[in-house]
Amino acid sequence: MQDIKKIAVIMFGLFGDVLIRTPILKALKEIYPDAKITAIVDPVGVYLLEDNVYVDDLIIINRSINKLQKKIKEMQATFEIRKQQFDLIVNLYNGGSSPWMVLFSNAKYKLGFCQQKRKYIYNVNNDCLKDRLKDEQSLYSYMISIIEPLSSKKHSLRPVFFTTKVNDLKMKEYLKEFNVDVENVYLLNLGASKEEKLLDMNKYLELVKYIYKTYNFIPAIILNPTQEYLQEKFIEDFLKLSKLPYIKLDSLSISEIASLIKLTKFIITPDTGIMHLSMAMNTYIYAIFTYTHPIFVDPNDDKFISVYDKFNDGKLYQQQNISSTILEKNIKLLFSKL
Protein backbone atom coordinates (compact mmCIF):
# COMPACT_ATOMS: atom_id res chain seq x y z
CA MET A 1 0.00 0.00 0.00
CA GLN A 2 2.54 2.58 -1.13
CA ASP A 3 0.40 4.43 -3.67
CA ILE A 4 -1.35 6.56 -1.04
CA LYS A 5 -1.63 10.28 -1.80
CA LYS A 6 -4.99 11.20 -0.23
CA ILE A 7 -6.28 9.92 3.12
CA ALA A 8 -9.63 10.50 4.83
CA VAL A 9 -10.04 9.81 8.55
CA ILE A 10 -13.51 9.62 10.11
CA MET A 11 -13.22 10.77 13.73
CA PHE A 12 -16.61 11.96 14.95
CA GLY A 13 -17.13 12.43 18.66
CA LEU A 14 -16.84 14.80 21.58
CA PHE A 15 -13.81 16.63 22.93
CA GLY A 16 -12.02 13.60 24.38
CA ASP A 17 -13.11 11.27 21.57
CA VAL A 18 -11.34 13.42 19.00
CA LEU A 19 -8.16 13.82 21.05
CA ILE A 20 -7.84 10.09 21.71
CA ARG A 21 -7.74 9.55 17.93
CA THR A 22 -5.09 12.18 17.14
CA PRO A 23 -2.12 9.78 17.50
CA ILE A 24 -3.43 8.00 14.39
CA LEU A 25 -3.21 11.24 12.40
CA LYS A 26 0.43 11.63 13.37
CA ALA A 27 1.16 7.97 12.61
CA LEU A 28 -0.46 8.20 9.17
CA LYS A 29 1.63 11.25 8.32
CA GLU A 30 4.77 9.38 9.42
CA ILE A 31 3.85 6.39 7.25
CA TYR A 32 2.79 8.50 4.26
CA PRO A 33 4.65 11.84 4.63
CA ASP A 34 3.58 13.10 1.21
CA ALA A 35 -0.08 12.22 1.58
CA LYS A 36 -2.78 14.83 2.18
CA ILE A 37 -4.87 13.96 5.25
CA THR A 38 -8.47 15.10 5.64
CA ALA A 39 -10.22 14.66 9.00
CA ILE A 40 -14.01 14.22 9.02
CA VAL A 41 -15.33 15.63 12.30
CA ASP A 42 -18.13 17.19 14.30
CA PRO A 43 -17.86 20.99 14.85
CA VAL A 44 -15.82 20.51 18.05
CA GLY A 45 -13.12 18.92 15.92
CA VAL A 46 -12.40 22.28 14.32
CA TYR A 47 -11.12 23.73 17.60
CA LEU A 48 -9.07 20.63 18.30
CA LEU A 49 -7.53 20.16 14.85
CA GLU A 50 -7.32 23.59 13.23
CA ASP A 51 -3.65 24.02 14.24
CA ASN A 52 -2.73 20.35 13.89
CA VAL A 53 0.23 20.04 11.50
CA TYR A 54 -0.78 16.48 10.57
CA VAL A 55 -4.15 17.58 9.17
CA ASP A 56 -4.34 19.24 5.76
CA ASP A 57 -8.10 19.69 5.52
CA LEU A 58 -11.34 19.24 7.45
CA ILE A 59 -14.80 18.06 6.46
CA ILE A 60 -17.21 19.21 9.16
CA ILE A 61 -20.62 17.67 9.78
CA ASN A 62 -22.96 19.14 12.37
CA ARG A 63 -24.84 16.10 13.68
CA SER A 64 -26.46 17.93 16.63
CA ILE A 65 -29.55 18.85 14.64
CA ASN A 66 -32.89 17.24 13.85
CA LYS A 67 -32.89 13.88 12.08
CA LEU A 68 -33.84 15.15 8.63
CA GLN A 69 -31.20 17.89 8.60
CA LYS A 70 -28.65 15.44 9.97
CA LYS A 71 -29.34 12.96 7.15
CA ILE A 72 -29.03 15.73 4.57
CA LYS A 73 -25.70 16.88 6.04
CA GLU A 74 -24.39 13.31 6.11
CA MET A 75 -25.41 12.74 2.48
CA GLN A 76 -23.72 15.98 1.43
CA ALA A 77 -20.56 14.94 3.27
CA THR A 78 -20.66 11.49 1.65
CA PHE A 79 -20.84 13.07 -1.81
CA GLU A 80 -17.93 15.36 -0.89
CA ILE A 81 -15.87 12.38 0.30
CA ARG A 82 -16.62 10.50 -2.93
CA LYS A 83 -15.82 13.57 -5.01
CA GLN A 84 -12.36 13.93 -3.45
CA GLN A 85 -11.34 10.41 -4.56
CA PHE A 86 -9.35 9.34 -1.52
CA ASP A 87 -6.88 6.48 -1.86
CA LEU A 88 -7.41 5.39 1.74
CA ILE A 89 -10.29 5.99 4.15
CA VAL A 90 -9.94 5.11 7.84
CA ASN A 91 -12.98 4.75 10.09
CA LEU A 92 -12.10 5.48 13.72
CA TYR A 93 -15.71 6.12 14.70
CA ASN A 94 -17.49 2.94 13.58
CA GLY A 95 -21.03 3.97 14.58
CA GLY A 96 -23.86 5.93 12.98
CA SER A 97 -23.62 6.55 9.25
CA SER A 98 -19.82 6.27 9.13
CA PRO A 99 -19.79 2.74 7.59
CA TRP A 100 -21.94 4.00 4.71
CA MET A 101 -19.57 6.92 4.18
CA VAL A 102 -16.80 4.36 3.86
CA LEU A 103 -18.86 2.16 1.52
CA PHE A 104 -19.73 4.99 -0.88
CA SER A 105 -16.36 6.76 -0.63
CA ASN A 106 -15.01 4.88 -3.65
CA ALA A 107 -11.64 4.77 -1.88
CA LYS A 108 -9.28 2.04 -3.05
CA TYR A 109 -8.48 1.00 0.52
CA LYS A 110 -11.10 0.98 3.29
CA LEU A 111 -9.49 0.47 6.69
CA GLY A 112 -11.44 -0.52 9.81
CA PHE A 113 -11.02 -2.27 13.16
CA CYS A 114 -11.21 -6.06 13.17
CA GLN A 115 -14.43 -5.96 15.19
CA GLN A 116 -15.94 -3.13 13.15
CA LYS A 117 -19.67 -3.13 12.49
CA ARG A 118 -20.56 -4.15 8.93
CA LYS A 119 -17.11 -5.64 8.47
CA TYR A 120 -17.89 -6.59 4.86
CA ILE A 121 -17.53 -2.93 3.87
CA TYR A 122 -13.78 -2.90 4.61
CA ASN A 123 -11.00 -4.49 2.60
CA VAL A 124 -8.24 -3.81 5.16
CA ASN A 125 -8.41 -4.66 8.89
CA ASN A 126 -6.06 -5.03 11.83
CA ASP A 127 -5.57 -8.47 13.40
CA CYS A 128 -8.87 -9.70 14.79
CA LEU A 129 -8.02 -11.23 18.14
CA LYS A 130 -10.70 -12.31 20.59
CA ASP A 131 -11.61 -9.49 22.98
CA ARG A 132 -9.06 -7.19 21.35
CA LEU A 133 -10.29 -4.12 23.22
CA LYS A 134 -10.08 -5.89 26.60
CA ASP A 135 -6.57 -7.18 25.88
CA GLU A 136 -5.11 -3.78 25.04
CA GLN A 137 -3.53 -1.68 27.81
CA SER A 138 -5.63 1.39 27.05
CA LEU A 139 -7.95 2.93 24.50
CA TYR A 140 -4.87 4.62 23.02
CA SER A 141 -3.17 1.32 22.26
CA TYR A 142 -6.45 -0.06 20.91
CA MET A 143 -6.90 2.94 18.60
CA ILE A 144 -3.35 2.84 17.26
CA SER A 145 -3.75 -0.89 16.49
CA ILE A 146 -5.84 0.04 13.45
CA ILE A 147 -2.72 0.99 11.50
CA GLU A 148 -1.04 -2.41 11.96
CA PRO A 149 -1.73 -3.37 8.31
CA LEU A 150 0.08 -0.20 7.21
CA SER A 151 3.19 -0.25 9.39
CA SER A 152 5.03 -2.53 11.82
CA LYS A 153 6.70 0.46 13.49
CA LYS A 154 5.72 1.44 17.04
CA HIS A 155 4.04 4.85 17.00
CA SER A 156 3.52 7.33 19.82
CA LEU A 157 0.29 6.94 21.80
CA ARG A 158 0.33 10.49 23.13
CA PRO A 159 -2.58 12.65 21.94
CA VAL A 160 -1.67 15.57 19.73
CA PHE A 161 -2.71 19.18 20.22
CA PHE A 162 -0.83 22.28 19.10
CA THR A 163 -0.99 25.65 20.83
CA THR A 164 0.01 28.84 19.05
CA LYS A 165 2.87 31.10 20.12
CA VAL A 166 0.36 33.94 20.27
CA ASN A 167 -1.79 32.10 22.83
CA ASP A 168 1.22 30.93 24.81
CA LEU A 169 2.44 34.51 25.19
CA LYS A 170 -1.08 35.80 25.84
CA MET A 171 -1.65 33.31 28.68
CA LYS A 172 1.76 34.05 30.17
CA GLU A 173 0.83 37.72 30.39
CA TYR A 174 -2.64 36.81 31.64
CA LEU A 175 -1.22 34.93 34.63
CA LYS A 176 1.02 37.87 35.47
CA GLU A 177 -2.10 39.97 36.06
CA PHE A 178 -2.80 37.94 39.21
CA ASN A 179 0.56 38.87 40.79
CA VAL A 180 1.48 35.31 41.71
CA ASP A 181 4.55 33.17 41.20
CA VAL A 182 3.64 31.00 38.20
CA GLU A 183 6.00 28.33 39.53
CA ASN A 184 3.55 27.84 42.41
CA VAL A 185 0.33 27.67 40.39
CA TYR A 186 -1.64 24.60 39.36
CA LEU A 187 -4.87 24.23 37.41
CA LEU A 188 -8.05 22.94 39.02
CA ASN A 189 -10.86 21.71 36.78
CA LEU A 190 -14.09 20.92 38.63
CA GLY A 191 -16.27 20.01 35.66
CA ALA A 192 -16.94 16.73 33.88
CA SER A 193 -19.27 15.42 31.19
CA LYS A 194 -21.52 13.59 33.66
CA GLU A 195 -22.69 14.34 37.20
CA GLU A 196 -21.43 11.00 38.55
CA LYS A 197 -17.90 12.01 37.57
CA LEU A 198 -17.92 15.11 39.81
CA LEU A 199 -16.04 14.97 43.09
CA ASP A 200 -17.70 16.39 46.20
CA MET A 201 -16.61 20.00 46.74
CA ASN A 202 -15.72 19.32 50.36
CA LYS A 203 -13.09 16.90 49.05
CA TYR A 204 -11.77 19.55 46.68
CA LEU A 205 -11.52 21.96 49.60
CA GLU A 206 -9.50 19.40 51.55
CA LEU A 207 -7.20 18.99 48.55
CA VAL A 208 -6.69 22.72 47.99
CA LYS A 209 -6.10 23.34 51.69
CA TYR A 210 -3.62 20.47 51.99
CA ILE A 211 -1.68 21.53 48.88
CA TYR A 212 -1.49 25.16 50.01
CA LYS A 213 -0.45 24.44 53.60
CA THR A 214 2.02 21.70 52.66
CA TYR A 215 3.49 22.99 49.39
CA ASN A 216 2.35 26.63 49.13
CA PHE A 217 0.73 26.05 45.72
CA ILE A 218 -2.31 28.08 44.58
CA PRO A 219 -5.14 26.79 42.33
CA ALA A 220 -6.19 28.54 39.13
CA ILE A 221 -9.81 27.46 38.77
CA ILE A 222 -11.11 26.76 35.27
CA LEU A 223 -14.52 28.08 34.20
CA ASN A 224 -16.36 25.23 32.47
CA PRO A 225 -18.81 26.04 29.65
CA THR A 226 -22.37 25.02 30.71
CA GLN A 227 -21.04 24.28 34.22
CA GLU A 228 -20.09 27.80 35.25
CA TYR A 229 -21.89 27.32 38.58
CA LEU A 230 -19.14 24.93 39.74
CA GLN A 231 -16.46 27.61 39.77
CA GLU A 232 -18.77 30.18 41.37
CA LYS A 233 -20.02 27.80 44.07
CA PHE A 234 -16.56 26.51 44.98
CA ILE A 235 -15.14 30.00 45.31
CA GLU A 236 -18.07 31.62 47.11
CA ASP A 237 -19.11 28.75 49.40
CA PHE A 238 -15.76 27.12 50.09
CA LEU A 239 -12.57 29.05 49.27
CA LYS A 240 -13.66 32.47 50.50
CA LEU A 241 -14.99 31.06 53.76
CA SER A 242 -11.71 29.21 54.28
CA LYS A 243 -9.69 32.31 53.33
CA LEU A 244 -7.55 30.33 50.90
CA PRO A 245 -5.84 32.12 47.98
CA TYR A 246 -6.96 31.25 44.46
CA ILE A 247 -7.08 32.48 40.87
CA LYS A 248 -10.48 32.78 39.23
CA LEU A 249 -10.00 32.16 35.51
CA ASP A 250 -12.20 33.75 32.87
CA SER A 251 -13.96 31.85 30.10
CA LEU A 252 -11.11 30.64 27.86
CA SER A 253 -10.82 28.79 24.56
CA ILE A 254 -9.50 25.22 24.33
CA SER A 255 -6.23 26.54 22.94
CA GLU A 256 -5.89 29.05 25.78
CA ILE A 257 -6.55 26.35 28.36
CA ALA A 258 -3.89 24.20 26.68
CA SER A 259 -1.40 27.07 26.90
CA LEU A 260 -2.15 27.42 30.63
CA ILE A 261 -1.63 23.68 31.08
CA LYS A 262 1.83 24.10 29.56
CA LEU A 263 2.64 27.05 31.82
CA THR A 264 1.54 25.58 35.15
CA LYS A 265 3.02 22.71 37.16
CA PHE A 266 0.14 20.25 37.10
CA ILE A 267 -3.61 19.92 36.74
CA ILE A 268 -6.29 18.31 38.90
CA THR A 269 -9.30 17.09 36.91
CA PRO A 270 -12.09 14.49 36.87
CA ASP A 271 -12.80 15.12 33.18
CA THR A 272 -11.29 12.66 30.72
CA GLY A 273 -11.32 15.19 27.87
CA ILE A 274 -9.12 17.55 29.90
CA MET A 275 -6.94 14.57 30.80
CA HIS A 276 -6.37 13.86 27.09
CA LEU A 277 -5.56 17.53 26.46
CA SER A 278 -3.13 17.56 29.39
CA MET A 279 -1.41 14.43 28.06
CA ALA A 280 -0.91 16.23 24.77
CA MET A 281 0.80 19.04 26.71
CA ASN A 282 3.00 16.46 28.48
CA THR A 283 2.17 17.79 31.94
CA TYR A 284 1.53 16.13 35.30
CA ILE A 285 -2.08 15.05 35.79
CA TYR A 286 -3.83 14.32 39.07
CA ALA A 287 -6.66 12.34 37.48
CA ILE A 288 -9.74 11.78 39.65
CA PHE A 289 -11.93 8.78 38.79
CA THR A 290 -15.21 8.81 40.70
CA TYR A 291 -17.09 6.44 38.39
CA THR A 292 -15.20 5.34 35.26
CA HIS A 293 -12.29 2.89 35.43
CA PRO A 294 -8.92 4.55 34.67
CA ILE A 295 -8.05 1.74 32.23
CA PHE A 296 -9.87 3.74 29.52
CA VAL A 297 -7.52 6.69 29.92
CA ASP A 298 -4.41 5.86 31.95
CA PRO A 299 -1.42 5.80 29.56
CA ASN A 300 0.79 4.09 32.18
CA ASP A 301 2.87 7.24 32.15
CA ASP A 302 4.96 8.54 35.03
CA LYS A 303 3.16 11.90 34.81
CA PHE A 304 -0.33 10.43 35.16
CA ILE A 305 -1.60 9.84 38.72
CA SER A 306 -4.84 7.83 38.81
CA VAL A 307 -6.90 8.63 41.92
CA TYR A 308 -9.73 6.28 42.89
CA ASP A 309 -10.84 3.94 45.68
CA LYS A 310 -11.48 0.46 44.30
CA PHE A 311 -13.06 -1.19 41.28
CA ASN A 312 -14.35 -4.73 41.73
CA ASP A 313 -13.02 -7.34 39.30
CA GLY A 314 -14.56 -6.88 35.87
CA LYS A 315 -16.21 -3.60 36.82
CA LEU A 316 -15.49 -0.73 34.45
CA TYR A 317 -18.10 1.60 35.95
CA GLN A 318 -18.48 1.80 39.73
CA GLN A 319 -19.18 4.74 42.03
CA GLN A 320 -16.08 5.49 44.10
CA ASN A 321 -15.76 6.61 47.71
CA ILE A 322 -12.44 8.44 47.59
CA SER A 323 -11.23 9.15 51.12
CA SER A 324 -9.10 12.06 52.33
CA THR A 325 -6.30 9.56 52.93
CA ILE A 326 -6.34 8.49 49.27
CA LEU A 327 -6.39 12.11 48.10
CA GLU A 328 -3.42 13.11 50.28
CA LYS A 329 -1.45 9.96 49.49
CA ASN A 330 -1.66 10.68 45.76
CA ILE A 331 -0.82 14.37 46.21
CA LYS A 332 2.36 13.29 48.00
CA LEU A 333 3.10 10.94 45.11
CA LEU A 334 2.52 13.75 42.62
CA PHE A 335 4.83 16.19 44.39
CA SER A 336 7.53 13.54 44.71
CA LYS A 337 7.63 13.51 40.91
CA LEU A 338 7.58 17.28 40.26
Would 6-147 and 165-337 be classified into the same CATH topology?
yes
Give, to the nearest 10 degrees, the angle between helix 272-280 and helix 254-263: 60
How far is the C-alpha of 293 from the C-alpha of 197, rounded, in Å?
Answer: 11
Q: State the pLDDT at residue 118.
A: 78
**pLDDT band at residue 132 using 50, 70 and 90 as cut-offs:** very low
Q: State the pLDDT at residue 134.
A: 52
pLDDT at 137 over 70: no
pLDDT at 128 over 70: no
pLDDT at 323 over 50: yes
pLDDT at 229 over 60: yes
- CATH (one of 3.40.50.1820, 3.40.50.970, 3.40.50.2000, 3.30.70.3270) for 165-337: 3.40.50.2000
Tens-place pLDDT, residues 170-186: 999 999 999 999 999 99
**pLDDT band at residue 81 using 50, 70 and 90 as cut-offs:** very high
**pLDDT band at residue 135 using 50, 70 and 90 as cut-offs:** low
pTM: 0.91
Within a 10 A sphere around the Cβ of 149, how many other Cβ atoms?
14
**pLDDT band at residue 130 using 50, 70 and 90 as cut-offs:** low
Domain ranges of the chain: 6-147, 165-337
Tens-place pLDDT, residues 250-308: 999 999 999 999 999 999 999 999 999 999 999 999 999 999 899 888 888 899 999 99
What's domain 6-147's architecture? 3-Layer(aba) Sandwich (3.40)
